[in-house]
Amino acid sequence: MRKSFCALTLLALLTITISSCSDDTIGSAIVDIKSSIIEDSSFVLIGNSQRVDRIQMRSSVKMLGSLHADGFGDVFSEAVTQWMPAATIDTSGVDVVNIDSCRLKLRIPNTGGFTGDSLVPMRLNVYRLNKQLPSPIYSDFDPTDYYNPDDLLGTVTYSPRSMLKEVDATTYTDTTRVVSVPMPDSLARNIYKLYKTNPDVLIDPTEYAKVDPGIYIANDYGTGRVLDVQYIELDTYYSKYVSLSDTTDTVYPCVRQSYLASTPEVVSNNIISLNVDDAVVERVGNGEAIIMAPAGYDVNVKFPIQDIIDTYRLNTQGTLARINSLELEIPVDLVENEYNIAPPSYLLMVKSSMKDKFIAGDSLTNSKDSFYATYNASKKKYTFSGMRDYILDIFQNKDTVPGAEDIYFTFTPVDVTTYTSTSSYSYYYSTSSTSTITKLSPQVSKPAICRLRLDKAKVKIVYSGQTVK
């Protein structure tokens, strides 16, 4: 039993003196106060893996490609997306005839932007959708009825080694690699004409989808790699006439503007197929649970909240008690596999009854029904801290008797989206940045796998009690 009692005994001699008008001392009292801090981690976590055949897309991140990895399995992913159009199109010194070309840009991180072989050539095709995508949309979506195979917009053969690097205009560092797909000039020219005749359509992506339902990106041939595509944009290139003075004009021959982009605000989807290597599941022992992404395995657990409450009430009878913290640590065993596919970078812990609602909703944890943890690669574990509000919510609303909805939780891999704000200071020109989590969504950025050691999990509560004698 993992249990420690740290008793901090405070002996306070409180002398209370009451004086009368004659300055006579009436008397004094001595009060003993004994304070204890208790840390208890004797609780058991029980759970099992559950196959997840489909997930709901809540992210603009796309995983594209096909991969077989021994010790993992086969993963195959394509994508569909509607468009967020640019609200303003550059028309100053630009006419439709000045549009030279347009390209679909698939941007991946320069470092860690793919899983698999960096050299194997693969090819993707881009098709035009012929009707609007459904919402909500899931990873088992069948695009067959949403496009015509003859309506091919573009195709390209690529590999990470051959992909162009893009330099960030601020830091002048290589931040992304780009799969650049030539697209028909008419695509950009039609957007330009639409903006000139009916610009309001481009303000609302729902209205724009009635004109242009979007694209389907399909694997054509090749296997051995999946890309972590962070951004998809349609870049348009054109020449622009500019008046420098009353007598001097010039032409900028290659101006670029993104006319369309796949963003979190529009309907998009990864079409995922994952066949798990049988040996992976067979190697899972007692007290272990396999977790995989994308659309692979979640882990369902019975959280020992009733045992925690019963123990807490037993040890704090007759005292003034306070819960200081509640946290969960889960060690991880790595799964040996080809391409060194690692554990999920983030895990969401959410009440099982609320998982679907969480994914479909605002997708932010509240420390009562949902929590998230970052994988600690050096210690090989996940730590879910800040769970105090979860147990306090039960005390306040349910008279310390948790219902079934409070006991069962699901662990699922997620991608975390953050917003970084930068603050500048006038003195010495120093800056600081703050990252804020804006969304947690089912992981589709890259494959992931590990075994959660539930038998070695540590559920730890720390509370204090105070007895007055």
Output the pLDDT for position 1.
46
User: Which regions of 130-277 does DSSP assign to beta strands (E)?
Assistant: 147-158, 164-167, 174-183, 215-221, 225-229, 231-243, 249-262, 268-276
Neighbours of 48 (CB within 10 A): 15
Residue 369 has pLDDT above 90, yes or no: yes
Residue 27 has pLDDT above 50, yes or no: no
With cut-offs at 50, 70 and 90, classify the pLDDT of residue 18. very low
Q: Are residues 296 and 428 in the same domain?
A: yes
User: What is d(CA 249, CA 255) in angstroms, rounded to the nearest whole number?
Assistant: 16
Q: Are residues 183 and 261 in the same domain?
A: yes
The pLDDT of 266-293, averaged and rounded, is 92
Q: Are residues 421 and 446 in the same domain?
A: yes
Is 59 part of any domain?
Answer: no
Q: Which of 25-29, 135-139, 240-244, 282-286 shows the lowest mean pLDDT across its residues?
A: 25-29
Query: DSSP for 414-466?
Result: EEEEEEEEEEE-SGGG-EEEEEEEEEEEE--SS-EEEEEEGGG-EEEEEEEEE
With cut-offs at 50, 70 and 90, classify the pLDDT of residue 335. very high
The pLDDT of 445-451, averaged and rounded, is 96
Identify the domain boundary among 274, 298, 314.
274
Is 68 part of any domain?
Answer: no
User: What is d(CA 114, CA 107) in angstroms, rounded to the nearest whole number?
Assistant: 11
User: What is d(CA 275, CA 387) in angstroms, rounded to the nearest whole number?
Assistant: 35
Does the predicted TM-score (pTM) go above 0.75? yes
DSSP 95: -
Assign 172 to helix, strand or coil: coil
Tokens encoding 103 = 């390209």
Is 433 part of any domain?
Answer: yes
Identify the domain boundary among 221, 256, 274.
274
Q: Which of 128-142, 384-398, 433-447 shows the lowest mean pLDDT across its residues?
A: 433-447
Q: Are residues 218 and 331 in the same domain?
A: no
Residue 55 has pLDDT above 60, yes or no: yes
Identify the domain boundary among 253, 274, 295.
274
With cut-offs at 50, 70 and 90, classify the pLDDT of residue 20. very low
Q: Are residues 357 and 255 in the same domain?
A: no
DSSP 130: S
Point out which residues pair with 360 in neighbouring strands: none
Residue 3 has pLDDT above 70, yes or no: no
Q: Are residues 104 and 159 in the same domain?
A: yes
Q: Are residues 294 and 201 in the same domain?
A: no
Q: For a pLDDT cut of 70, what percent of the chain falls above it?
A: 85
For the beta sheet containing 249-262, the strands, ordered from the edge strand earlier in sequence to the opposite edge, are: 84-85, 249-262, 231-243, 99-109, 174-183, 164-167
The pLDDT of 147-167, averaged and rounded, is 86
Q: Which of 33-47, 262-276, 340-354 shows the lowest mean pLDDT across its residues?
A: 33-47
Output the pLDDT for position 36.
81
With cut-offs at 50, 70 and 90, classify the pLDDT of residue 341. very high
Q: Are residues 266 and 299 in the same domain?
A: no
Contact assessment for residue 460 and residue 303, using Cβ atoms and an 8 Å cutoff: no
Our count of domains for the chain comes to 3
Residue 5 has pLDDT above 80, yes or no: no
Output the pLDDT for position 307.
95
Output the pLDDT for position 60.
85
Residue 446 has pLDDT above 60, yes or no: yes
DSSP 186: H
Peptide bond into 109 cis (omega under 30): no
Residue 467 has pLDDT above 80, yes or no: no
Domain interval for residue 8: 3-37
Q: Are residues 104 and 253 in the same domain?
A: yes
Q: Are residues 135 and 223 in the same domain?
A: yes
Q: Are residues 240 and 281 in the same domain?
A: no
Is 58 part of any domain?
Answer: no
Output the pLDDT for position 453.
97
Output the pLDDT for position 88.
95
| Residues 6 or more apart in contact with residue 169 via CB below 8 angstroms | none
User: What is d(CA 213, CA 143) in angstroms, rounded to the nearest whole number?
Assistant: 13
Output the pLDDT for position 320.
86
Q: Are residues 9 and 29 in the same domain?
A: yes
Mean pLDDT of the chain: 87
